[in-house]
């Protein structure tokens, strides 16, 4: 373990931040603070996803994600080398490809000037950031360490080491909750902050399916669909989407109401349903693979949460899904979470927040600079986060339904011009 001092040690002048959660947002926040001279401890409840045997690896949500300019700008601001490495491994998606029930295809470019979103391996992104974290001399990273409580006024956090079963507490100057949708930091903050909080489960669940690679004439793996599109099979009350992977496979996600998915409880019902609504996708996925994925993969709920404020005094803040889970239909949940880190760091810099305790600072003192920065974060960030969350919810309707109508309307308008 790297020698990270406790803030209560006499003579220690460095501030200590605790980051809860080593997902992509927590990892990026830790790196950003370490670069500013803070000592950082990251506590992650699950095992290290970098270990091949890790259970957390198999429990990961969605295999790939769409990273847009928003997320890339945040990565570039904090870890420029890592950002270009991730981009090298990404597959650009320049538009949507709509798969009609008839099998006809309709390509809808995202941007006239070629701007695109990028399909990236979620594990690669998270593992890449964790490698950087592990290499930082200012960060100690603890896996299998679950945070169980926080005393914000005493600036201490309670942790359980799930391997040894031992409980302990440690001190902090700043606590960052990057612990996802069911955040304990958010729940603990609600005891001391008048936080407005809202959560909504939508009626749909999602299930992941794998579309294998094909083989070209030379027997080499090849994509079965155009890799530079995000593929959508809109069927009004449900839809299937597919994003490309580097190994020439596609990860498909089926979004459908729980009641609809519950009806698909036998091989016959699944295959009949797919033959009716997604016959072309079924041919590419393969019947056995489809049935296997239905059996093995979980059907997961989709939650939307909103909170305000995001911080407590000069000492705690929630970022990423801990602060704002959004439905995935705009592909912006993680992008917004990474942007949270960039925005927070800009405010820390603007407010002149130092990584060292000033000589006049005693532990009872308030860090006014930090307080100002966190207050400004809440004041300026909320509107943007609500806007993007609402856009995501609206896109839920558009992707299932209106993409077909919009292209129709667009064509009609063009015909009339």
175 or 373: CB nearest ligand FAD = 175
**Binding residue for ligand FAD, selected from 15, 17, 26, 395, defined by CB under 6 A:** 26
x-marked contacts with ligand FAD along 161-200 as a string, rule CB under 6 A: -----------------xxx---x----------------
Structure tokens at 236: 């009004």
- The answer to whether residue 82 forms part of the interface with ligand FAD (CB under 6 A) is no
Q: How far is the CB of 367 from ligand FAD (least distance, A)?
A: 24
- The answer to whether residue 25 forms part of the interface with ligand FAD (CB under 6 A) is yes
**Binding residue for ligand FAD, selected from 83, 147, 317, 370, defined by CB under 6 A:** 147
| Interacting span for ligand FAD (CB under 6 A) from 15-23, 216-224, 260-268, 277-285 | 15-23
Sheet holding 166-171, edge to edge: 145-151, 156-161, 166-171
- The answer to whether residue 23 forms part of the interface with ligand FAD (CB under 6 A) is yes
DSSP 356: B
Alpha-carbon span 404 to 409, nearest angstrom: 9
Q: How far is the CB of 82 from ligand FAD (least distance, A)?
A: 15
- The answer to whether residue 329 forms part of the interface with ligand FAD (CB under 6 A) is no
Tell me the helix, strand and coil percentages in the chain, rounded to 5.
40, 30, 35
Do the beta carbons of residue 285 and residue 302 sit within 8 Å?
no
**Binding residue for ligand FAD, selected from 230, 334, 345, 388, defined by CB under 6 A:** 334
Locate the DSSP E strands across 116-264.
117-121, 139-142, 145-151, 156-161, 166-171, 174-177, 196-211, 214-215, 221-222, 229-234, 239-244, 250-257
Q: How far is the CB of 25 from ligand FAD (least distance, A)?
A: 3
Closest CA to 190 of 305, 304, 310: 310
- The answer to whether residue 65 forms part of the interface with ligand FAD (CB under 6 A) is yes
Specify burial of residue 148 (Cβ count, 10 A radius: 0-12, 13-18, 19+): middle
21 or 227: CB nearest ligand FAD = 21
Q: How far is the CB of 184 from ligand FAD (least distance, A)?
A: 4
- The answer to whether residue 320 forms part of the interface with ligand FAD (CB under 6 A) is yes
| Interacting span for ligand FAD (CB under 6 A) from 76-84, 101-109, 215-223, 324-332 | 324-332
**Binding residue for ligand FAD, selected from 7, 227, 309, 337, defined by CB under 6 A:** 337
**Which residues have C-beta within 8 Å of that of residue 155, sequence separation ≥ 6?**
7, 171, 172, 173, 175, 315, 363
Alpha-carbon span 264 to 259, nearest angstrom: 9
Structure tokens at 133: 């974290």
Question: What is the rounded end-to-end Cα distance, in angstroms, of the chain?
Answer: 68
Contact footprint for ligand FAD (CB under 6 A): 20-26, 43-46, 61-62, 65-66, 146-147, 178-180, 184, 206, 253, 320-321, 328, 331-335, 337
């Amino acid at each position: 373990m790297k020698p990270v001092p406790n803030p209560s040690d006499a003579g220690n002048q460095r501030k200590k931040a605790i980051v809860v959660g080593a997902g992509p947002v927590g990892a990026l926040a830790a790196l950003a603070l370490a670069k500013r001279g803070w000592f950082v401890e990251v506590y992650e409840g699950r095992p290290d996803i970098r270990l091949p045997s890790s259970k957390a690896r198999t429990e990961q949500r969605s295999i790939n994600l769409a990273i847009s300019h928003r997320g890339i700008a945040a990565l570039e601001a904090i870890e420029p080398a890592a950002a270009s490495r991730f981009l090298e491994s990404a597959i650009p998606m320049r538009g949507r490809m709509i798969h009609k029930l008839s099998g006809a295809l309709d390509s809808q470019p995202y941007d006239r000037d070629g701007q695109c979103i990028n399909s990236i391996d979620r594990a690669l992104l998270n593992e890449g950031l964790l490698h950087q974290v592990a290499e930082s001399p200012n960060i100690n990273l603890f896996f299998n360490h679950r945070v169980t409580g926080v005393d914000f006024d005493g600036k201490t956090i309670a942790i359980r080491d799930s391997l040894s079963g031992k409980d302990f507490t440690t001190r902090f100057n700043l606590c960052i909750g990057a612990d996802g949708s069911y955040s304990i930091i958010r729940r603990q903050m609600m005891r001391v902050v008048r936080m407005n909080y809202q959560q909504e489960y939508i009626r749909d669940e999602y299930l992941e399916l794998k579309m294998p690679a094909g083989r070209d004439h030379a027997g080499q793996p090849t994509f079965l669909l155009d890799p530079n599109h995000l593929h959508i099979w809109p069927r009004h009350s449900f839809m299937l989407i597919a994003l490309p992977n580097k190994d020439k496979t596609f990860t498909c996600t089926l979004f459908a109401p729980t009641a609809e998915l519950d009806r698909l409880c036998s091989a016959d019902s699944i295959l009949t349903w797919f033959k009716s609504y997604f016959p072309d996708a079924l041919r590419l996925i393969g019947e056995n693979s489809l049935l296997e994925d239905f059996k093995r993969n979980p059907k997961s709920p989709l939650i939307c949460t909103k909170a305000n404020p995001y911080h407590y005094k000069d000492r705690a803040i929630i970022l990423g899904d801990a602060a704002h889970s959004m439905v995935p239909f705009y592909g912006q949940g993680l992008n917004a979470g990474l942007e949270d880190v960039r925005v927070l760091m800009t405010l820390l810099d603007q407010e002149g927040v130092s990584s060292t305790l000033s000589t006049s600072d005693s532990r009872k003192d308030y860090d006014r600079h930090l307080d100002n920065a966190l207050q400004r974060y809440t004041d300026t960030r909320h509107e943007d986060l609500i806007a993007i969350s609402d856009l995501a919810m609206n896109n839920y309707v558009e992707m299932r339904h209106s993409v077909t109508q919009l292209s129709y309307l667009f064509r009609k308008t063009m015909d009339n011009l």
